Amino acid sequence: MKNTNYSGTFSKYYDLINKGKDYDGEARVIDSVIRKYLKKENSGKKSLKLADVGCGTGNHTIAFSRMGYRAYGFDVSRHMIGIARGKSTGLHFECKSFKDVNEPFDVIISLFDVVNALGPYKNLVGFFSSVAKNMKNGSIFIFDAWNGSAVFLHPPEIKTKTIEWKGLKIERKAIPKTDFLRQVCTLKYDIKAYKNGRLAERANPSIVINFFTYNEIASALDASGLKVVQAFPYKEPSKKIAENDWKINFVCKLR
Ligand SMILES: C[S@@+](CC[C@H](N)C(=O)[O-])C[C@H]1O[C@@H](n2cnc3c(N)ncnc32)[C@H](O)[C@@H]1O
């Protein structure tokens, strides 16, 4: 599948743009949810086999591996996979569509807006079907996504962040342009790196986010042979979702 979103410029700055994101903390929350749903089928199993689909630069894959999972990373962007491999963790990172993978996993994750990076709605069913075919009875699929109703109620705004990194001061501005009719948000980044107070580098990568409502996602899952067993607001598995929760986690099993 062609993917222009996560190519050269964006992937180069990806980890920098997301510096400060608590990948380990997120992985611990997801792990607690996985343990809750897998306890019957996999009790006694030491190491669960996990696929991180849309693994990007591998940060969740690495976090889950540290927690004892046999973790594999897949992504369609060779640039993102190149960066994941460059972290020299010895983990298996493959530049491959999950459609071309044929092996069962205990756990499949797709975290940090992968579902919003797939393109228009018609691509959701194909993606979820490729996940379903690599699940067996008792497998679990966890992903997150922007919540369409929250985007309508509280449209994305310009966000700025300053980061100190390797002796540089980085200013990062994210400028959203949202097309509510087509449910698409283009996020343009303005990244400026200063060394000794002088501008040393500037880049303007952008990504396209397709956002969907809860019902649209649930319908696509249903059409792919999956069912939602739990939905919770980002990092809060003990809570129920609401219309204004910006990000939702879906926990799914085979139907
Ligand atoms: C926002 S990034 C998230 C990366 C990573 N999961 C993380 O948490 O940092 C979205 C990723 O989805 C990948 N992606 C987009 N379409 C995909 C597809 N059809 N199959 C697998 N990965 C895809 C992109 O290449 C990109 O690396």
Q: How far is CA 9 from the centre of its chain?
A: 19
Residues 45 and 134 in one domain: yes
Tell me the C-alpha distance between 193 and 171, whole Å.
6
Tell me the C-alpha distance between 136 and 141, whole Å.
11
How is residue 112 annotated by DSSP? S
pLDDT of 3 reads 40
Tell me the C-alpha distance between 247 and 254, whole Å.
23
Does 128 contact ligand 1 (Cβ within 6 A)? no
Tell me the C-alpha distance between 56 and 77, whole Å.
8
Helices 59-66, 23-38: axis angle to 10 degrees equals 60
pLDDT of 5 reads 65
Tell me the C-alpha distance between 34 and 128, whole Å.
18
Q: Which domain range does residue 201 map to?
A: 151-209
Does 230 contact ligand 1 (Cβ within 6 A)? no
Strands (E), the chain: 49-53, 70-75, 92-95, 105-110, 135-146, 159-165, 168-179, 184-195, 198-203, 206-210, 226-233, 247-254
Nearest C-alpha to atom 16 of ligand 1 is from which residue? Answer: 118
Residues 182 and 106 in one domain: no
Residues 117 and 218 in one domain: yes
Does 118 contact ligand 1 (Cβ within 6 A)? yes
Q: What is the CATH number of the domain that holds 175?
A: 2.20.25
pLDDT of 100 reads 97
Residues 58 and 139 in one domain: yes
Q: How far is the CA of 108 from the centre of ligand 1 (A)?
A: 13
Does 97 contact ligand 1 (Cβ within 6 A)? yes
The sign of the dihedral angle between the CA atoms of 11, 122, 142, 137 is negative
Residues 89 and 180 in one domain: no
Residues 196 and 132 in one domain: no
**How many separate domains does the chain show?**
2
Token pair for 111? 């975290």
Q: What is the CATH number of the domain that holds 72?
A: 3.40.50.150
Residues 102 and 195 in one domain: no
Q: How far is the CA of 165 from the centre of ligand 1 (A)?
A: 24
Residues 104 and 174 in one domain: no
E strand or H helix that includes residue 107: strand 105-110
pLDDT per residue rounded down to tens, the chain (255 residues):
344 567 766 788 788 878 889 999 999 999 999 999 986 666 556 799 999 999 999 999 999 999 999 999 999 999 999 999 999 999 999 999 999 999 999 999 999 999 999 999 999 999 999 999 999 999 999 999 999 999 999 999 999 999 887 788 889 899 999 999 999 999 998 988 899 889 988 888 888 999 999 999 999 999 999 999 999 999 999 999 999 999 999 999 999
Q: Which of 1, 6, 15 maximizes ligand 1 atoms within 8 Å of its Cβ, making it the mutation to test the pocket? A: 6
Q: Are 53 and 131 in contact (CB under 8 A)?
A: yes
